[in-house]
Structure 1
Amino acid sequence: MATCSSQTLALQRNSCKQNSFMEKLMTKIFNFYDEQSLIDVTFKVSNPTALVPAHRLILAAASPYFENLFNGNQGTNPVIEINDIDSDIFEHLITFCYTGEASITVNNVAAVLNAAIVLQLDDAITSSVDYLITHIDEYTLQGAYTLERETQCEVLRQKIIEYETQNFMEISRSDEFLNFYVEKLQRILVSDNLNITREEDAYDAIQRWYNYDVPARQENLPLLIACLRLTQFNVDFLITHIQPLPGCELLVFKALSWIGVPTARPMINIRFTEPRGVGATNCGEKTILALCSQNPKLLQYNKTEDKWQEYASIKIDYELYRTVLEDDNLLFIGGYKNCTTLNVVRSWNIRNKTWQNFPVMIQARRAHCVVELDDKIYAIGGCEDRALSSVERYTTSDGWKFVNSLIVGRDNASAVTLNNKIYVMGGYNSCRGQLKQLKSIECYNPNSNTWTSCADMTKCHILPGVAAHKGHIYVLGRGDEYSHVCVERYDPQQNTWSQICSLDVDPGYIACVLLDNKLWAIGGQSESAGKSCVSVFDEENFCWVERCLLPERKVCNCFVVPETLLFSM
């Protein structure tokens, strides 16, 4: 008799022979099953009663359940009764033992999973869970939660956690989220792959869960706050929002000490000190979409190959619109067509590349600012026949409503959010028929519905690239320079501006985004190549590092999105 090692050696001598041998062997086994030839066991299954023939050797090799059954006292019986599995489901899983495939549907996936657990068919369990997660919209998330509780299936539990991690923003707004038990929420929040745009998103979700039942959840609140990357918050945010929470004072003290006293860090016991994404797996990877206005199109950045490729063309017949990312949709807000300023709002779905109309704004606008804050969309300033100071806000419940106006009307400005506030900077203001360039910056507090003036920038900037990063606001624009991009940084705590190293490219349209916790500048022209430049700020060496040029000259805006959102291309 050949030993296991001698069989393996013989088959490994020629992989082609091995593949051919295995193919012939499996074909013969399938034929035996289809023809019910050489059958040595029959199962009598109930509901409805049916006889299911099979081969002991195949089933024993596929599952320890059958191996133990056939080696037990009743294992030699020619007919074995199965009473706790429906006959059609049992037959599907017997077929799986031969083929590795089962007929799984939304209607039977729960029964197949339950039976696969009983029969210890690990591969069938995995197939069932994968099918369920793939069809979660049809099966419903609530149904998946119920099935996981009933089966206590670890594979399903892990897959649900992965799904919740990747779709956290959507799930955190659901009613099911309010009833998550604290251990489950902890498992999600600690993940490096948590799919959020900013750490404040996780904080907001905790607050929503906590406020649903404050008396019962107060004791567990510090456990969840400890899952946040506290050292990534601004000092003001820590003091204003987190320190007042019951039981969180020590956590905030440690985070403030870590931020303020770097030399003391080795002595500070704090759970997370790095931002999310450090050491994360590919399932949570994000990339950049660049919206280019020349023959409007979206370009996708491939980080692995450091190159850009077209994701989609966008058919739009007007200009001077502004865009904002809302979940899986790009909102095109306002614009200009045939000498007319527009109040139109249209939504373009990134996943399926289709348009939908949105409620129109109250005020027609072009060359304005748009930002999203706390699930609300703000349209700020811009111009119609003059620079506008009006600001309106969109919510799904109330539509567009005016809020307090800017102190100074402006168009071609830029805006960014930081610490639950909106900052608007630069642009033009019409003054006695003249366009006045602005250095000024204003801050909007949605809680008090007020705008306040902040310290002026060191230079005037028209439509600069802006981004919030590590508690500061970065502004990239031309200023009064014509040979390079000026970069300055605002400290909201000190209300001061400072210049940092310039970007050595010809000024032009430029966007600024955060990817992998680094500041990316996309735009500014390479005159020799006739393309837009792409650079990443190296904070350690205080310099800009060039990446692959963008194959288009005019960049309207850039967005950071999960790579999984673009799989359909």
Structure 2
Amino acid sequence: MARRGSGPIYDPLGTPYFLYNQNYGIEILTKLNALRHEATFTDAILCVGHEEFPCHKNVLSVSSPYFRAMFTSELKESRETRICFNEVSPWTLKRIIDYAYSGRLEINQDNAQEMLSAGNLFEYPDIVEACCSFLKRQLHSSNCLGIEYFAHIHSCQKLENEAHEYALENFSIVIDSDEFLDLPLDRVIQYISNDHIDVRNEETVYHAIRRWLNYDSDERKPFLPQLLEQVRLPIMGLQNLRLLESDQLLQGCHKGLQMIKEAQKNHQISNERPEHRRSSLPAIIHPRPSTVAKEVIIVISGINSYITPSVEMYDTQKDRWFILPDLPRLVSWFSVCTVANSILIMGGICDGHVVDTVWKFDVVLRQWTEVARMPERRARHACAVLHDKVYVCGGVKGDGNQLVESIDCYDIYNNSWSKAGQSENPRKQARIVPYKNSLLEIGGIQGEAKVNTIDTYICTGDKLKHSGEQYLLPSRIEFAQILVLNGIFYIIWEDTKKMLALDPLKRTFQPLPDMNCSRIHCATTVLNGKLYVSGGLIDSKPTRLVESFDPVLKRWKKERSMSEKRAYHGCLTLQMC
């Protein structure tokens, strides 16, 4: 017996059925390409030298306005079967034809510029755009000037602008490239006259023109006065200006020497006149923005999958991280602070031993040097700066189990240490911050117990004494961060994301929004009225993440991530250019 309802579904209305093969176009192109390789139905032969490429005029015409115009106009090529080209290589023409039949093209370092030129010639905008995107990703201090010029002659305005911007932002490195030496005079002037070249000082600009002139001194030395006009000589240090007078390059150049002497005079004027009158001086005297010191964030060392010596600087104006000279030794569990616009790295664990070494970073010279050692070896300790003196307290010594009771003071101007006092409640992994004429110590571990108090030390001269009073926190805190902004303490419980604001005058706590993610062994600092939290361990793994908190908006925001993952690191704010 037959099953009821079996068989095709009957459609009494005869509803139309639409066939749509999504791969139809690809299949047709594939078959046309096969016919091309067989030289079947081909009606044009493109030639370069002795190489010949049979093609279909209709395929080339629909793929390119260039070929459409060639085959449909009154030009002789429209009537001929063989068309010869001299502007491209056989290899490049073959790739263009392959693209016309397949829509596929591999772009790499070896062919990007050649394919961009061919894409321009044969009017394949997708090829041009793809090559520009590839070249943008290849921008480097060694090639950006060449890419900028290449983009200019091929009318690739966007790539030209991007390469130019890259050269401006990396000018202090670009000037050491071979491409810089090959620049014509007008392009050298175009760069050194630009207000936005990224240089730390005007001496770098002089070094640039000196290097360019010396590359072909016989031909280029007459351009010296013209180039010197673009160097903001009065911004240079007076001592350096005096040294220039004996520079071999300037000998015999009366006008150049006269400019140096005039710069010395203007230099003295700019120092002597009140600030409100400097605006009346010539524009050439005003410094370039990159040579003016600004507040930046510095992150130092830490642990990735290993102890890293790397140091990074975050410029909020450019929203970029820059690499600074590495810390000379691999060290962990150190303390870090900034005083007199220098960075100090104190103590820590190096090669498995608690050490007393102190490293100083000079932000002008960008060099690390070792300074006077601490009176006592210590690690997992805390430090803070009050009245330009560095105070170090807490931590462990010896085998890492014995707590340090003394508080030591460092005078950076005399490069000397002295004893400042005794810790009332010695602890490790705490944090201390300055407030008015006192230091506050928060968090950490005493013995095996987490701490729930804030101890206060009053400063008299360079001595510290416990005030006898404490702030009691709502809960115990081991992984603590504390920052002071506008007289308010911001206390972070790293492992729970919780943050409170403590008003020391009212002795009141205010709950604030949690961080975006919990982390431990991170580092914090204050910049431009915001609190920054960098790195740390998230789920036991170091992270590159950085987030900031705006106390006015009461909102956390993700910031530009660090270049390198790190935890147990230092983080601070200071002025650099």
TM-score by length of 2: 0.48
TM-score by length of 1: 0.49
- Structure 1 or 2, whichever has the larger Rg, is 2
